[in-house]
Structure 1
Amino acid sequence: MPKVLYVEDDELLRMVTSLALEDAGYAVVEAHDGHQARWLLDQEGGFDFVISDISMPGGMSGLEVAQAAQAARPGCRTILVSGYATSQLPALPDSVIYLGKPFRVQDLIDTLGAAG
């Protein structure tokens, strides 16, 4: 079962999306911000995918989470999500996949399938 670290500061969105991902066959570990995500990457590791919002409170962005995921496990696939258009965001690394908000959960599941 593929292991996913899902980083989202919106509690309701995090809960609903995690349940849908679990129903689709993914083992999901949740983080509410970038700092918790980084701690989980260091402590648990072994994530096949990291899905992270780009803009989060607490001073650590999804871009930094993506960098930490690659450092913890090279080859870990990272999907960054945001309500901002890509033209409003800093340049994204080639190693990440961008998914705009709002998205349908099935779009996220399809993106994971294509990335795997």
Structure 2
Amino acid sequence: MNAHLPAPSPVVLVVEDESLVRMVAVDILEDEGFTILEAANADEAWAILEGRADIGVLFTDVNMPGMMDGLALATLVAERWPHIRLVITSGRRGFGNSEMPDNGQFVQKPYRQIDLMSAIAHAA
């Protein structure tokens, strides 16, 4: 009977140290119906990941302060939580999708809503 109900949108963890950029990403994703969690660095993100089982997408910037950058975070997430889709962004350096851990997707900053949504849809 519930076969016609849409699948719930995944929870997205947005990891971005620049608060204004993080706010833009959150607005884009909320407009698309996603539930959003926010972290300013990889350490905060890791704590959130360990406490939540419902995260479906990690959207992280590469360059952040702290013990690890977004690429290292994504690599560890792929190892520990292989069901989480990975989307990585940077304004400083472009990456090919083949360089992403676990079939993740790369979105160059500044990104548009359509680019971000396409990356989430294509992340494995």
In the superposition, the TM-score normalised over structure 2's length comes to: 0.80
Does structure 1 residue 76 correspond to structure 2 residue 84?
A: yes
The structure number with the bigger radius of gyration is 2
Q: Kindly tell me the number of residue pairs found equivalent between the two proteins.
A: 113
Q: Deviations over 1:16-71 (max 9, x none)?
A: 21022011011110110011011111111321110000110113111221123223
Structure 2 match to 1:64: 72
Specify the code of the residue in structure 1 equivalent to 2:54: G
In the superposition, the TM-score normalised over structure 1's length comes to: 0.85
Structure 2: runs of 5 or more not aligned: 1-8
Cα pair 2:10 2:56 within 8 Å, conserved: yes
Does structure 1 residue 36 correspond to structure 2 residue 41?
A: no
Identical-residue share of aligned pairs (%): 34
Specify the code of the residue in structure 1 equivalent to 2:61: D
Q: Which stretches of structure 1, 4 residues or more, deviate above 6 A after TM superposition?
A: none
Separation in structure 2 between the aligned mates of residue 98 and residue 114 of structure 1, nearest angstrom = 10
Cα pair 1:45 1:73 within 8 Å, conserved: no
Structure 1: runs of 5 or more not aligned: none
Task: Say which is worse superposed, 95-104 or 66-75, in terms of deviation.
Answer: 66-75
Please give the root-mean-square deviation of Cα atoms over the aligned residues, in Å.
1.8
Q: Deviations over 1:56-98 (max 9, x none)?
A: 01131112211232234212110110112336xxx54352211
